[in-house]
Structure 1
Amino acid sequence: MPRESAAATLAALLDRSIARVGELAADGRCFDRGEVVRACDVWDNNTGPFFRVACSPWWARERRGRQALCWLADFGDRRRDWVAGLVGDRLLPPARPDPPFHRDRRGVVQPAWDVLTATALDYLTRDYDLAGAEVTGIHVERAGAAITGRVTLTARRLFDAPEATVPAVVRLMLGDIRTVRLDSADATGAAADLGAGGVTIRAGSRGVLAGADATFIVEDDQWHLSSGGRAADARAADLVRGDRRPLDRPALGVPASNASFVLHRAMLLIRSVRYAKLVGRAPLRELSAGLKGAGEAILSAAHSDRALQRLHDGWLEACPQLARELHRQLPDNAAFRAVPVGDPPPDPAPANHGQLTLASFGRGGATVNFATGDDWELRSAELPGAERIVLDTAAFTEPHPISYDAFAMGDDVLTIR
């Protein structure tokens, strides 16, 4: 096989994705949930295509591999940059930067996440009453060495929107946060300051999120009538989202199909951490270790049913929680029943010490993630009846005692009531 064939590049990308999950989960204090999701989300729609490439005859493998690699990477500039960062960009399609807005199927201009510049902020404050907005959501989390945060506002429109039936929502996202000081009881009014030192979001009269940069999005079905929407409308003549070119989908044999299914379910189990309440339930370290080298192994086993069956069984034996999940979900499947599973491990004792990695609060309550124990494993806690959160930067930067009366860490660095 050529050294830089598309099939080999896909295999390397899969192996790097799996290894990256293990790296990110090694120390829960530096967990990066978003990166874990990105590492596995790419394989939701691409595990099957990779198996089809691997199982293709030699004369079709490279053509299908290039097609699959381009299809995988052609999902916005962020996906392409992520793929290029892992395996290089020699075989990737040209970059196509995502526009800050697009047209829907009706031809109506719609916003997307965009950088909060002085011009964007001018449109935002001209179109929505941020000073009188209500803070309806607070979300701050660890992202590796950095901290990121999001403030959700419900804001009154300052433009005519006769067909409006619900308030507009503005979401402000900060990266590389240096200061967090938030109290959900102080929930009226918001402002953004852009300076040489970064971006400061003020929530309520005393709340502060200060970071290096910010992005934002407006969720408003009447946005096209705002001054920002009208300005975008004049620039978005051809920005209609189109469908991507479909892939070749030759049928897989039973052993390849079973192995593909197991790997796909493993990626979905890892990706379940996209829901903060499920962090700590997916055995990220176990799955990353059990699937190590899967890409190269698939290429080597692709043309042998017996080798594919060994691959399938080996993954289930190395990932017992995945095997238990498949037994539970598909109790009548003979392929999964053939691999024995043991009893699940006992529930861990409540943690009395930990370092916060995520705090999310809104009208539905609160969710926290934290790292605890000698190996800094991840845990999550849901507090559906929570009515108030008080949060400080120190909760994310060092361990604190945990109290469960009203969930709290340390001396007023995190309190949820």
Structure 2
Amino acid sequence: MSLPLGTFAGLLDRSIREIVALAMDARSFDATRIGRIADLWDNNALPLVGAACAPWPLRSRRASSGLEWMADLGADRRRLMVDLDPSLDRLLPTARPQRSVHRDYQGRVFPGAFRLTAEIIDVLAEDYDLVNGSVRSLTAQPSNEGLQVRLTLAAPRRFIPSTGRVSRDGSRMPWPAAPLKFTFNGVTNLQFDAEDRIGMAVSRTSAGSAVTIGRSGHLQATEASVWPDDPRWYESTAGQAADLTTQHERPQRRKPIPTSTLTAPQRAAARSLVMLMNHARLVHHYPNLAAGVPILDICRVAADAGSAIIAASARRGAARQTAFGQLEQRWRHVPPEVPPEAIRSGPVMLRHARYDEPHDDYDVPHHGSAVLLAAVPGADPAVPWTLASEGITQPSRFRITSAAFDDGQHIHHDGRVLRIGDALVLR
């Protein structure tokens, strides 16, 4: 077996083992990292099978191309791969510089995420009225970079769009406030109250970014970024300036390795594996469902999948097709979801908290909601903790501080209110 092919298959095995490590005990559960790892294999299971089943002279080259294509999505993707397998650092090319501004199919500029510098803060405040914006959603969760907070501020524009928005009935309507999506890493001193969510100010300090929300809300973060998710951004001051410097040619990704020669059993096995990994990443995209996703059962089904692909590809003729058919049969059955455990009074370790304010988004009403995800112990203290969740539609109160994520917390739930001392109140 070629070294690149072994590395490619080994990366899959390492990915599954890492997800197991993150999910084995709910106290270390990291939905974001699980989602990012599972996402590696959405478009890369087929290339792995394609490299493993290629003629011997082509396997090494195709495996190398597959790894390079996987890493070609940017520095964060490359960093994740190297984190899973440090040997990849010398095998993969340096990540290409990422552009924060791109062009769509009509040639209009649209933004990606900008690192939150003093300059970006000034430009943001020039185009959007942060003081009169409203926090539309806030998510807080522990990660390997400390406490992470994602905050969406619905901010009125200071510029006037040239045309109105086309509503569902074909009429022209005013554009709703623009969602500015902030990500804060290494957060300390978080304090947020949904009753006090109007207005936001951001500044740079020697330690990172400082944010005030409403009259008394605040947070500090070592790293921060913002994505102005505004379909009219190209008409903003920042957008017009970017239009003068952004090239029109779209960067070309590396070409994926050919998979057209794969047989039906080989292709079916790869697609079944993709479905397993896609199911695993639900814990990131739908945290309200995370406590019911059988993540460990999924990983048991997919355990040593990379090694199994190599073993199946080593066979010849009908035996190879049979081996891949058996893998497809093994991977096609996604373990069923289980009813999530509810959060009850007792010891907890909070793993995720989310608040969404009620709002209309492009003629679609969204009810307010709040979701908590927590690690809870069983009757045996030696047994790993499990996940429990609580979801409330249209909560009348949501208040949280960073202390809610400290170790050794006790939650009180009387059927109407969930409370962790003064650190969390939800009802």
**Normalised TM-score (structure 1):** 0.86
* Residue 292 (structure 1) aligns with: 303
Instruction: Give the percent of matched residue pairs that are identical in Structure 1 and Structure 2.
Output: 31
1:65-91 CA-to-partner distances (Å, cap 9, x unmatched) read: 223222222112211222233231333
* Residue 391 (structure 1) aligns with: 400
- Aligned-pair distance for 1:99? 1.1
Mark the CA change 1:122 to 1:253 in structure 2 (over 3 Å): closer, same or farther.
same
Residue 230 of structure 2, aligned match among 213, 217, 220: 220
1:62-101 correspondence to structure 2 within 5 Å: 62-87=60-85, 88-101=88-101
| Letter of the 1:278 counterpart | L
Structure 1 residue matching 2:187: 3-state secondary structure: coil
| Letter of the 2:345 counterpart | N
Task: Work out whether residues 105 and 240 of structure 1, in 8 Å CA contact, stay in contact via their aligned partners in 2.
Answer: no
Question: 1:104 & 1:254 partners in 2: Cα distance?
Answer: 36
Mark the CA change 1:51 to 1:213 in structure 2 (over 3 Å): closer, same or farther.
same
Give the CA RMSD over aligned residues. Answer: 2.3
1:371 and 2:369 are equivalent in the alignment: no
Task: Work out whether residues 179 and 393 of structure 1, in 8 Å CA contact, stay in contact via their aligned partners in 2.
Answer: yes
* Residue 38 (structure 1) aligns with: 36
Deviation larger for 206-215 or 392-401: 392-401
Residue 24 of structure 1, aligned match among 22, 25, 28: 22
1:205 and 2:234 are equivalent in the alignment: no
Task: Work out whether residues 294 and 338 of structure 2, in 8 Å CA contact, stay in contact via their aligned partners in 1.
Answer: no
| Letter of the 2:30 counterpart | D
1:295-352 CA-to-partner distances (Å, cap 9, x unmatched) read: 1221022233444455455667xxxxx5554xxxxxxxxxxxxxxxxxx877657533
1:352 and 2:376 are equivalent in the alignment: no
| Letter of the 1:160 counterpart | I
* Residue 127 (structure 1) aligns with: 127
Gaps spanning 5+ residues in structure 2: where?
165-174, 359-366, 379-383
Mark the CA change 1:98 to 1:405 in structure 2 (over 3 Å): closer, same or farther.
same
| Letter of the 1:99 counterpart | R
- Aligned-pair distance for 1:410? 2.0
Task: Work out whether residues 198 and 212 of structure 1, in 8 Å CA contact, stay in contact via their aligned partners in 2.
Answer: yes
* Residue 361 (structure 1) aligns with: 355
- Aligned-pair distance for 1:294? 1.9
Question: 2:107 & 2:393 partners in 1: Cα distance?
Answer: 40
1:3-402 correspondence to structure 2 within 5 Å: 4-5=3-4, 7-87=5-85, 88-144=88-144, 146-164=146-164, 165-238=175-248, 240-242=250-252, 245-274=255-284, 275-302=286-313, 303=315, 304-312=320-328, 322-325=333-336, 348=341, 351-353=344-346, 354-362=348-356, 363=358, 364=367, 365-374=369-378, 375-398=384-407, 399-402=409-412
| Letter of the 1:369 counterpart | L
- Aligned-pair distance for 1:141? 1.1
